[in-house]
């Protein structure tokens, strides 16, 4: 079984009952999903499937207030997702937001790396350098108790993401999205098992994640199952390590029973 630490989805697309949908997903090997949408749709899905959805709404980091962050977290959200900031994630102007999330013991999830054109329509163009793993490292030094999850492993700053995740105790990462699983498995083997020797400290801080759209007829989980399983095989991951990546790290970060 897996906990998918990165999905999106519109509950209105659901053609079966919530209970039927959850059962279908679990039959396919997905125990829970971390849903990322605007606050109200995310929490609506959580209320419909409280034992399946891990709610992590995304908000505009340049507009949201500390009060709003607290309201979202007090309303049951397990964390907050940030994406496409006007300034670097490491800019101190965002510290009150990070401090509010840390004080609640919740997770901050950062989109790291490339962001496709047209994903967010704003008056300004997206600057992906504001979302680099180095920016996450910068802010993490001021918030050592904050639980941090880097989405997409910093694509294309793979080495930078590895270095930050390996070096910073409270930073974890996942390999979701349409690019990571298309890269050569040899590249990933060299990152997580350099010269053929598994670096358990590195792989042990990864979460299984896909970035698929859920609540549809066929979500397309399988390519990500295959990618993670192939990675486990190539680096010689133990059953305990596979369990940690597939479920354990998500359970620990989000306080799941």
Domain count, the chain: 1
pLDDT tens digits for range 146-173: 999 999 999 999 999 999 999 999 999 9
Name the percent of the chain lying above pLDDT 70.
100
Question: What are the backbone angles phi and psi of residue 30, rounded to the nearest 5°?
Answer: -110, 110
Are 136 and 150 within 8 A, CB to CB?
yes
Q: Does some domain include residue 13?
A: no
Whether 241 is covered by a domain: the verdict is yes
Residue 33 confidence (pLDDT) above 70: yes
The mean pLDDT of 57-83, rounded to a whole number, is 98
Q: Three-class SS of residue 127?
A: coil
Q: Note whether residue 116 is domain-resident.
A: yes
Q: Flag whether 33 is in a domain.
A: no
Say whether pLDDT at 118 is over 80: no
Provide the pLDDT confidence category of residue 121 given band limits of 50, 70 and 90. Answer: low
- What's the pLDDT band for 69 if we cut at 50, 70, 90? very high
Q: Per-residue pLDDT averaged across 16-44, rounded?
A: 97
180-229 pLDDT, tens per residue?
888 999 999 999 999 999 999 999 999 999 999 999 877 889 999 999 99
Quick count: other Cβ atoms within 10 Å of Cβ 239?
Answer: 8
Tokens found for residue 215: 């609540």
What's the pLDDT score for residue 124?
84
- pLDDT of 159 reads 96
What pLDDT digit, counting tens, does each position of 94-111 carry? 999 999 999 999 999 999
- The residue segments making up the domain with residue 94 are 56-208+218-253
Q: What is the pTM of this model?
A: 0.96
Lowest mean pLDDT among 18-32, 215-229, 243-257: 215-229
pLDDT at 21 over 80: yes
Q: Give the count of beta carbons closer than 10 Å to the beta carbon of residue 206.
A: 23
48 occurs within a structural domain: no
**Residue 223: which CATH number?**
3.20.20.140
- Give the model's pLDDT for residue 135: 98
Question: 84 lies in a domain?
Answer: yes
Strands 212-214 and 2-9: parallel
* 109 within a domain of the structure (yes/no): yes
Q: Please check whether residue 20 lies inside any domain of the structure.
A: no
């Amino acid at each position: 079984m897996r906990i998918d630490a990165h999905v999106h989805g519109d509950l209105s697309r659901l053609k079966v009952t919530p209970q039927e949908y959850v059962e279908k997903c679990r039959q396919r090997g997905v125990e829970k999903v971390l849903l990322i949408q605007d606050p109200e749709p995310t929490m609506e899905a959580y209320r419909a499937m409280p034992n399946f959805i891990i709610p992590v709404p995304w908000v505009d980091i340049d507009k949201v207030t500390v009060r709003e962050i607290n309201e979202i977290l007090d309303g049951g959200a397990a964390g907050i997702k940030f994406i496409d900031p006007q300034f670097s994630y490491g800019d101190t102007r965002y510290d009150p937001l990070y401090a509010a999330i840390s004080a609640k013991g919740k997770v901050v999830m950062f989109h790291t790396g490339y962001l496709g054109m047209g994903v967010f329509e704003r008056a300004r163009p997206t600057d992906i350098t504001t979302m680099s793993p180095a920016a996450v490292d910068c802010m993490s030094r001021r918030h050592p108790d904050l639980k941090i999850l880097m989405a997409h492993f910093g694509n294309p700053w793979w080495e930078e993401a590895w270095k930050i995740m390996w070096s910073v105790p409270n930073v974890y990462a996942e390999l979701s999205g349409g690019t990571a699983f298309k890269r050569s498995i040899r590249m990933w083997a060299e990152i997580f098992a350099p010269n053929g020797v598994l670096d358990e400290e590195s792989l042990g801080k990864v979460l299984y994640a896909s970035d698929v759209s859920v609540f549809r007829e066929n979500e397309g989980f399988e390519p990500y199952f295959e990618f993670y399983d192939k990675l486990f095989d190539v680096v010689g991951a133990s059953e305990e390590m596979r369990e940690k990546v597939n479920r354990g790290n998500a359970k620990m970060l989000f306080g799941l029973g």
